[in-house]
Protein backbone atom coordinates (compact mmCIF):
# COMPACT_ATOMS: atom_id res chain seq x y z
CA UNK A 1 0.00 0.00 0.00
CA UNK A 2 2.83 2.41 0.91
CA UNK A 3 4.44 1.77 -2.51
CA UNK A 4 1.15 2.57 -4.25
CA UNK A 5 0.76 5.82 -2.29
CA UNK A 6 4.36 6.81 -2.97
CA UNK A 7 3.99 6.10 -6.71
CA UNK A 8 0.79 8.17 -6.83
CA UNK A 9 2.47 11.07 -5.08
CA UNK A 10 5.45 10.99 -7.45
CA UNK A 11 3.15 10.85 -10.49
CA UNK A 12 1.17 13.82 -9.22
CA UNK A 13 4.35 15.81 -8.61
CA UNK A 14 5.70 15.04 -12.09
CA UNK A 15 2.42 16.04 -13.75
CA UNK A 16 2.25 19.22 -11.67
CA UNK A 17 5.83 20.16 -12.56
CA UNK A 18 5.15 19.48 -16.24
CA UNK A 19 1.99 21.61 -16.21
CA UNK A 20 3.79 24.37 -14.32
CA UNK A 21 6.65 24.28 -16.86
CA UNK A 22 4.23 24.46 -19.82
CA UNK A 23 2.28 27.28 -18.19
CA UNK A 24 5.48 29.19 -17.49
CA UNK A 25 6.64 28.73 -21.10
CA UNK A 26 3.28 29.97 -22.38
CA UNK A 27 3.45 33.12 -20.26
CA UNK A 28 7.15 33.97 -20.68
CA UNK A 29 7.96 33.14 -24.30
CA UNK A 30 8.18 36.19 -26.53
CA UNK A 31 7.85 37.29 -30.12
CA UNK A 32 11.05 39.17 -30.94
CA UNK A 33 11.47 41.34 -34.04
CA UNK A 34 14.96 42.32 -35.24
CA UNK A 35 15.94 44.69 -38.06
CA UNK A 36 18.82 44.10 -40.47
CA UNK A 37 20.24 46.05 -43.43
CA UNK A 38 21.69 44.18 -46.41
CA UNK A 39 23.75 45.97 -49.06
CA UNK A 40 23.73 42.88 -51.30
CA UNK A 41 19.99 42.24 -51.21
CA UNK A 42 18.14 42.75 -54.49
CA UNK A 43 17.17 46.33 -55.35
CA UNK A 44 13.40 46.52 -55.99
CA UNK A 45 10.87 49.05 -57.25
CA UNK A 46 7.45 49.92 -55.82
CA UNK A 47 5.93 46.69 -57.21
CA UNK A 48 8.64 44.40 -55.90
CA UNK A 49 10.36 44.01 -59.28
CA UNK A 50 14.13 44.32 -59.85
CA UNK A 51 14.99 47.99 -60.40
CA UNK A 52 17.81 49.81 -62.13
CA UNK A 53 18.87 53.41 -61.48
CA UNK A 54 16.79 55.86 -63.51
CA UNK A 55 18.42 57.74 -66.38
CA UNK A 56 19.84 61.06 -65.22
CA UNK A 57 20.22 59.83 -61.64
CA UNK A 58 23.00 58.26 -59.60
CA UNK A 59 22.90 56.27 -56.39
CA UNK A 60 25.04 54.80 -53.65
CA UNK A 61 24.61 52.34 -50.81
CA UNK A 62 24.58 54.11 -47.45
CA UNK A 63 25.69 52.79 -44.09
CA UNK A 64 22.59 52.73 -41.91
CA UNK A 65 23.25 54.04 -38.41
CA UNK A 66 19.71 53.78 -37.05
CA UNK A 67 16.15 53.05 -38.14
CA UNK A 68 12.67 53.26 -36.68
CA UNK A 69 9.24 51.95 -37.65
CA UNK A 70 5.70 53.02 -36.81
CA UNK A 71 3.65 49.92 -37.55
CA UNK A 72 4.13 46.15 -37.92
CA UNK A 73 1.48 43.70 -39.06
CA UNK A 74 1.49 39.96 -39.72
CA UNK A 75 -0.65 39.04 -42.74
CA UNK A 76 -1.97 35.49 -43.30
CA UNK A 77 -2.33 35.66 -47.10
CA UNK A 78 -1.58 37.79 -50.13
CA UNK A 79 -5.17 39.06 -50.15
CA UNK A 80 -5.13 40.25 -46.53
CA UNK A 81 -5.80 43.97 -46.72
CA UNK A 82 -3.66 46.41 -44.77
CA UNK A 83 -4.80 46.72 -41.09
CA UNK A 84 -6.90 43.53 -41.25
CA UNK A 85 -4.06 41.19 -40.26
CA UNK A 86 -2.50 40.77 -36.82
CA UNK A 87 -1.12 44.16 -35.74
CA UNK A 88 1.78 43.55 -33.35
CA UNK A 89 3.10 47.11 -33.09
CA UNK A 90 1.63 50.59 -33.42
CA UNK A 91 3.70 53.69 -32.65
CA UNK A 92 2.46 56.83 -30.95
CA UNK A 93 0.92 59.77 -32.78
CA UNK A 94 0.28 63.42 -31.93
CA UNK A 95 -1.70 66.43 -33.12
CA UNK A 96 0.86 69.01 -31.98
CA UNK A 97 1.47 70.00 -35.60
CA UNK A 98 -2.23 70.13 -36.56
CA UNK A 99 -3.21 66.92 -38.37
CA UNK A 100 -2.49 63.60 -36.72
CA UNK A 101 1.12 62.58 -37.30
CA UNK A 102 3.72 60.11 -36.09
CA UNK A 103 5.42 61.48 -32.97
CA UNK A 104 9.12 61.39 -33.83
CA UNK A 105 10.14 62.04 -30.21
CA UNK A 106 8.67 58.65 -29.23
CA UNK A 107 10.50 56.70 -31.95
CA UNK A 108 12.38 53.52 -31.09
CA UNK A 109 15.76 53.73 -32.85
CA UNK A 110 17.77 50.57 -33.46
CA UNK A 111 21.01 49.68 -35.23
CA UNK A 112 21.75 46.77 -37.57
CA UNK A 113 20.65 43.40 -36.13
CA UNK A 114 19.25 44.97 -32.97
CA UNK A 115 15.89 44.08 -31.43
CA UNK A 116 13.11 46.52 -32.28
CA UNK A 117 10.19 44.78 -30.55
CA UNK A 118 9.57 42.21 -27.82
CA UNK A 119 6.04 41.18 -26.86
CA UNK A 120 4.61 38.09 -25.10
CA UNK A 121 3.58 35.41 -27.58
CA UNK A 122 0.31 35.22 -25.70
CA UNK A 123 -0.57 38.60 -27.26
CA UNK A 124 -0.27 37.24 -30.81
CA UNK A 125 -3.32 35.64 -32.37
CA UNK A 126 -2.77 32.00 -33.28
CA UNK A 127 -2.61 31.20 -36.99
CA UNK A 128 -0.34 30.93 -40.02
CA UNK A 129 1.26 34.06 -41.44
CA UNK A 130 2.95 34.40 -44.83
CA UNK A 131 3.64 38.14 -45.03
CA UNK A 132 4.80 41.11 -42.95
CA UNK A 133 3.81 44.76 -43.45
CA UNK A 134 6.05 47.32 -41.76
CA UNK A 135 5.78 51.10 -41.92
CA UNK A 136 9.32 52.47 -41.94
CA UNK A 137 9.32 55.95 -40.40
CA UNK A 138 12.92 57.11 -40.03
CA UNK A 139 16.46 56.18 -40.98
CA UNK A 140 19.84 57.75 -40.34
CA UNK A 141 22.70 56.85 -42.66
CA UNK A 142 26.22 57.81 -43.65
CA UNK A 143 26.97 58.65 -47.29
CA UNK A 144 29.89 59.94 -49.38
CA UNK A 145 29.86 63.32 -51.11
CA UNK A 146 32.12 65.51 -53.21
CA UNK A 147 32.67 69.21 -52.59
CA UNK A 148 35.25 71.38 -54.38
CA UNK A 149 37.15 68.28 -55.42
CA UNK A 150 37.37 66.90 -51.89
CA UNK A 151 35.49 63.79 -50.72
CA UNK A 152 33.73 63.79 -47.37
CA UNK A 153 31.45 61.58 -45.31
CA UNK A 154 28.06 63.07 -44.54
CA UNK A 155 25.07 61.99 -42.46
CA UNK A 156 21.51 61.98 -43.77
CA UNK A 157 18.36 61.75 -41.64
CA UNK A 158 15.43 60.56 -43.77
CA UNK A 159 11.84 60.84 -42.57
CA UNK A 160 9.81 58.19 -44.36
CA UNK A 161 6.52 58.19 -42.47
CA UNK A 162 3.26 59.35 -44.08
CA UNK A 163 3.27 62.41 -41.81
CA UNK A 164 5.62 63.08 -38.92
CA UNK A 165 5.65 65.68 -36.19
CA UNK A 166 9.30 66.53 -35.59
CA UNK A 167 10.20 68.73 -32.67
CA UNK A 168 13.94 68.44 -33.30
CA UNK A 169 16.46 65.86 -34.44
CA UNK A 170 20.18 65.41 -33.93
CA UNK A 171 22.82 65.07 -36.64
CA UNK A 172 26.30 64.39 -35.26
CA UNK A 173 25.72 66.57 -32.23
CA UNK A 174 23.97 69.35 -34.12
CA UNK A 175 20.33 69.85 -33.16
CA UNK A 176 17.98 70.83 -35.97
CA UNK A 177 14.68 72.28 -34.77
CA UNK A 178 11.53 71.76 -36.84
CA UNK A 179 8.47 71.89 -34.53
CA UNK A 180 6.11 71.03 -37.36
CA UNK A 181 4.52 68.21 -39.34
CA UNK A 182 6.53 66.93 -42.30
CA UNK A 183 5.28 64.65 -45.06
CA UNK A 184 7.16 61.62 -46.37
CA UNK A 185 10.51 62.55 -47.92
CA UNK A 186 11.68 65.27 -45.52
CA UNK A 187 15.40 65.02 -44.86
CA UNK A 188 18.29 66.61 -43.02
CA UNK A 189 21.97 66.54 -43.94
CA UNK A 190 25.21 67.21 -42.07
CA UNK A 191 28.86 67.19 -43.19
CA UNK A 192 31.88 68.91 -41.69
CA UNK A 193 29.62 71.01 -39.44
CA UNK A 194 27.40 72.17 -42.32
CA UNK A 195 23.69 71.33 -42.10
CA UNK A 196 20.90 71.44 -44.64
CA UNK A 197 17.26 70.32 -44.81
CA UNK A 198 15.05 69.57 -47.79
CA UNK A 199 12.02 67.74 -49.12
CA UNK A 200 12.05 64.99 -51.75
CA UNK A 201 9.38 65.31 -54.47
CA UNK A 202 5.99 63.84 -53.63
CA UNK A 203 5.76 60.17 -54.55
CA UNK A 204 9.49 59.78 -55.20
CA UNK A 205 10.29 57.61 -52.17
CA UNK A 206 10.36 53.94 -53.17
CA UNK A 207 8.14 51.63 -51.09
CA UNK A 208 8.30 48.01 -52.40
CA UNK A 209 4.96 46.20 -52.24
CA UNK A 210 4.83 42.95 -54.25
CA UNK A 211 1.13 42.69 -53.26
CA UNK A 212 0.14 45.93 -54.97
CA UNK A 213 -2.59 44.16 -56.96
CA UNK A 214 -4.17 42.15 -54.16
CA UNK A 215 -3.35 44.31 -51.12
CA UNK A 216 -2.41 47.92 -51.99
CA UNK A 217 -0.99 50.53 -49.61
CA UNK A 218 -2.07 54.19 -49.30
CA UNK A 219 -0.08 56.70 -51.39
CA UNK A 220 2.50 58.59 -49.34
CA UNK A 221 2.88 55.84 -46.76
CA UNK A 222 6.03 53.78 -46.31
CA UNK A 223 4.52 50.36 -45.66
CA UNK A 224 6.99 47.81 -47.02
CA UNK A 225 5.72 44.29 -47.70
CA UNK A 226 7.80 41.15 -47.47
CA UNK A 227 7.22 37.40 -47.47
CA UNK A 228 8.46 34.89 -44.90
CA UNK A 229 10.97 32.39 -46.25
CA UNK A 230 8.52 29.84 -44.84
CA UNK A 231 5.12 30.55 -43.21
CA UNK A 232 5.19 31.56 -39.56
CA UNK A 233 3.01 29.30 -37.40
CA UNK A 234 1.75 30.52 -34.03
CA UNK A 235 -0.28 27.86 -32.17
CA UNK A 236 -0.01 29.07 -28.58
CA UNK A 237 2.10 26.09 -27.50
CA UNK A 238 5.54 27.48 -28.35
CA UNK A 239 8.31 26.29 -26.04
CA UNK A 240 10.82 29.01 -26.94
CA UNK A 241 10.96 32.59 -28.15
CA UNK A 242 9.98 33.19 -31.76
CA UNK A 243 12.48 35.50 -33.47
CA UNK A 244 11.53 37.29 -36.69
CA UNK A 245 14.30 39.03 -38.64
CA UNK A 246 13.30 41.74 -41.10
CA UNK A 247 16.05 42.25 -43.67
CA UNK A 248 15.90 45.49 -45.66
CA UNK A 249 17.70 46.07 -48.93
CA UNK A 250 19.87 49.20 -48.86
CA UNK A 251 21.35 48.39 -52.28
CA UNK A 252 21.86 51.83 -53.91
CA UNK A 253 18.97 53.16 -51.82
CA UNK A 254 20.35 56.72 -51.67
CA UNK A 255 19.54 58.28 -55.06
CA UNK A 256 19.98 61.79 -56.43
CA UNK A 257 19.69 63.76 -59.67
CA UNK A 258 23.02 64.05 -61.47
CA UNK A 259 24.35 67.37 -62.77
CA UNK A 260 28.01 66.43 -63.05
CA UNK A 261 27.97 62.96 -64.61
CA UNK A 262 30.58 61.44 -62.32
CA UNK A 263 28.52 59.18 -60.05
CA UNK A 264 29.42 61.27 -57.01
CA UNK A 265 26.93 63.14 -54.84
CA UNK A 266 27.63 66.88 -55.08
CA UNK A 267 24.98 68.89 -53.19
CA UNK A 268 26.92 72.14 -53.72
CA UNK A 269 26.51 71.64 -57.49
CA UNK A 270 22.73 71.46 -57.08
CA UNK A 271 22.39 67.67 -57.07
CA UNK A 272 19.20 66.97 -55.14
CA UNK A 273 18.29 63.92 -53.09
CA UNK A 274 15.14 62.39 -54.59
CA UNK A 275 14.87 58.91 -53.08
CA UNK A 276 15.98 57.42 -49.80
CA UNK A 277 13.47 54.57 -49.65
CA UNK A 278 14.43 51.08 -48.57
CA UNK A 279 14.68 48.77 -51.57
CA UNK A 280 13.08 45.52 -50.48
CA UNK A 281 12.13 43.37 -47.51
CA UNK A 282 12.89 39.72 -46.76
CA UNK A 283 11.71 37.91 -43.64
CA UNK A 284 12.90 34.82 -41.86
CA UNK A 285 12.15 33.28 -38.47
CA UNK A 286 13.84 30.74 -36.18
CA UNK A 287 11.00 28.25 -36.58
pLDDT digits (tens, 9 = 90+) for 241-268: 999 999 999 999 999 999 999 999 998 8
CA 72 – CA 79 distance, rounded (Å)? 17
pLDDT at 27: 56
pLDDT digits (tens, 9 = 90+) for 183-196: 999 999 999 988 99
pLDDT(5) > 90 = no
Nearest to 265 by CA among 166, 160, 143: 143
Identify whether 13 is part of a domain.
no
Residue 46 three-state SS: coil
Identify whether 230 is part of a domain.
yes
Residues forming a β-bridge with 244 = 33, 285
pLDDT(14) > 70 = no
In this structure, is the dihedral angle defined by the CA atoms of residues 227, 46, 108 and 190, taken in order, positive or negative? positive
pLDDT at 4: 47
Identify whether 8 is part of a domain.
no
pLDDT at 18: 45
pLDDT(282) > 70 = yes
Identify whether 97 is part of a domain.
yes
Identify whether 208 is part of a domain.
yes
Average pLDDT over the chain reads 91
More confidently predicted of 228 and 22: 228
Identify whether 21 is part of a domain.
no
Output phi, psi for 78, to 5 deg.
-70, -15
pLDDT digits (tens, 9 = 90+) for 66-118: 999 999 999 999 999 999 999 999 999 999 999 999 999 999 999 999 999 99
Identify whether 182 is part of a domain.
yes
pLDDT(22) > 60 = no
What Å distances lie between residue 284 and 91, 125, 136, 158, 235, CA to CA? 23, 19, 18, 26, 18
pLDDT digits (tens, 9 = 90+) for 137-174: 999 999 999 999 999 999 999 999 999 999 999 999 89
CA 67 – CA 274 distance, rounded (Å)? 19
Average pLDDT over residues 170-182: 94
> Number of folded domains in the chain?
1
Identify whether 22 is part of a domain.
no
pLDDT at 23: 47
Domain of 241 in residue numbering reads as: 30-285
pLDDT(13) > 80 = no
Amino acid sequence: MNKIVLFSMLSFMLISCSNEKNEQATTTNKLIVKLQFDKNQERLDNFGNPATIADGNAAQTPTINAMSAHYIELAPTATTLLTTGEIIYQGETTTKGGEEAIDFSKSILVKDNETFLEIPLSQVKTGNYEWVRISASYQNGSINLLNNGEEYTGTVASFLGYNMYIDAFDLNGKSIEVNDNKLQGFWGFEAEGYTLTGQAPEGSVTVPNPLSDSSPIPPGSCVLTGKFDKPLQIDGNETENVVITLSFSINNSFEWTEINKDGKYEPAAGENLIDMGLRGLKIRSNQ
